């Protein structure tokens, strides 16, 4: 039997099985370091420009044009953009920016020091003690809060700003006529009206010229004459910048003319110690009662953010012979200002 043989192929090429190609995953795009540095540099410079302009005005003993007076009112807060800009300058590796930030921080820290002379307490015994309250009632809206504060605190002298018709009418009630028989009430408009209330006899009335009423008088405090002046210049805003500067200059002139009479100047100055126009008033020899008692930067406006954020624009200034012994800030419902209550000794 014959067996059939089949030749086996010896060289057979087998095509390889195709392997699918791998698709590379997309790599997320990242900002280039150069672009990041440019962004940090621009942001830090933008943060430094406003405080730098305001600090330049402060160093030149000037208030400058808008918006520099508004910025100067919040000078302590220049530390925030200063620190943020410093961090941006370090991350961007910009030595010039770091130096600029340090200059802003150092200058701000220097100007944070209280302005004006320290308190010198005479060794003589006080002649008497007087309690003074100053309050801006915001168009008379805080009249009820004021009356409650008068009942509670019983000040001897009260300097009121923005005492409108409602305020004046409330103060004419028999109870308040008896409590404050001596008074000067001028102006009737919501912002224009001002009042000086006193338990002591008042004489030699005077006024500081201004758009808003600023009355004054000499109180006979147990035989000691004490000049009391209410202050309320226009605020530094668009359309009233010239009036603000002019009326604070009028206050300065009145303070310089006080002579040897013991004097208290109280009210809403619409200015802080970082405004040159206010420092000019202090340079006449008056001293800020709050500063002398360690409260030189306690905010009085706006009340909604005080005491954590704001500016101290309500002041009680005193001359030689008047020594502050206590000060407190009083919240009155209905106004954007905090009232300032001070106890003063006449020496």
The residue with tokens 């338990």 is 199
How far lies 190's CA from each of 187, 194, 229, in Å?
9, 10, 20
- Estimate to the nearest angstrom the gap between the alpha carbon of 45 and the chain centroid: 25
pLDDT at res. 1: 46
pLDDT at res. 8: 52
Nearest to 170 by CA among 134, 146, 201: 146
Query: Digits of tens for pLDDT over the chain (347 positions)?
Result: 455 554 555 555 555 666 566 655 665 665 567 888 999 999 999 999 999 999 999 999 999 999 999 999 999 999 999 999 999 999 999 999 999 999 999 999 999 999 987 777 766 788 899 999 999 999 999 999 999 999 999 999 999 999 999 999 999 999 999 999 999 999 978 899 999 999 999 999 999 999 999 999 999 999 999 999 999 999 999 999 999 999 999 999 999 999 999 999 999 999 999 999 999 999 999 999 999 999 999 999 999 999 889 999 999 999 999 999 999 999 999 999 999 999 999 98
Collapsing DSSP to helix, strand or coil, 255 comes out as helix
Highest CATH level, class, for 128-346: alpha beta
Full-model pTM:
0.88
Strand order in the sheet with 202-207: 202-207, 215-221, 224-231, 262-268, 314-318, 287-288
Boundaries of every domain in the chain: 33-111, 128-346
Q: Residue 35, class by beta-carbon neighbours within 10 Å (0-12 exposed, 13-18 middle, 19+ buried)?
A: exposed
């Amino acid at each position: 039997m014959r067996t059939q043989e089949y030749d086996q192929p010896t060289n057979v090429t087998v095509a390889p099985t195709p392997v699918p190609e791998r698709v590379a995953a997309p790599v997320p795009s990242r900002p280039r370091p150069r672009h990041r540095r440019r962004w940090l540099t621009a942001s830090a410079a933008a943060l430094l420009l406003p405080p730098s302009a305001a600090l330049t005005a402060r160093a030149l003993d000037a208030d400058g044009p808008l918006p520099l007076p508004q910025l100067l009112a919040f000078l302590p807060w220049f530390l925030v953009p200063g620190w943020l800009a410093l961090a941006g300058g370090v991350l961007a590796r910009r030595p010039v920016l770091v130096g600029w930030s340090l200059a802003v921080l150092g200058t701000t820290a220097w100007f944070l020091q209280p302005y004006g002379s320290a308190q010198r307490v005479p060794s003589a015994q006080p002649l008497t003690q007087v309690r003074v309250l100053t309050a801006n009632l915001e168009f008379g809206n805080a009249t009820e809060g004021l009356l409650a504060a008068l009942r509670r605190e019983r000040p001897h002298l009260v300097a009121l700003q923005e005492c409108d018709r409602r305020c004046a009418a409330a103060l004419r009630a028999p109870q308040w006529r008896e409590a404050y028989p001596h008074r000067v009430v001028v102006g009737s408009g919501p912002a224009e009206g001002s009042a000086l209330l006193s338990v002591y006899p008042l004489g030699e009335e005077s006024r500081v010229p201004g758009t808003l009423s600023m009355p004054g008088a000499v109180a006979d405090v147990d035989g000691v004459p004490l000049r009391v002046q209410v202050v309320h210049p226009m605020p530094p805003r668009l359309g009233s910048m010239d009036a603000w500067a002019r009326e604070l200059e009028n206050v300065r002139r009145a303070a310089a003319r006080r002579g040897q009479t013991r004097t208290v100047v109280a009210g809403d100055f619409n200015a802080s110690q970082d405004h040159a126009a206010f420092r000019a008033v202090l340079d006449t020899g008056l001293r800020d009662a709050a500063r002398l008692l360690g409260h030189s930067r306690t905010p009085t406006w706006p009340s909604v953010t005080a005491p954590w954020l704001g500016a101290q624009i309500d002041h009680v200034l005193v001359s030689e012979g008047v020594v502050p012994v206590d000060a407190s800030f009083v919240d009155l419902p209905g106004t954007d200002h905090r009232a300032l209550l001070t106890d003063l000794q006449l020496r």
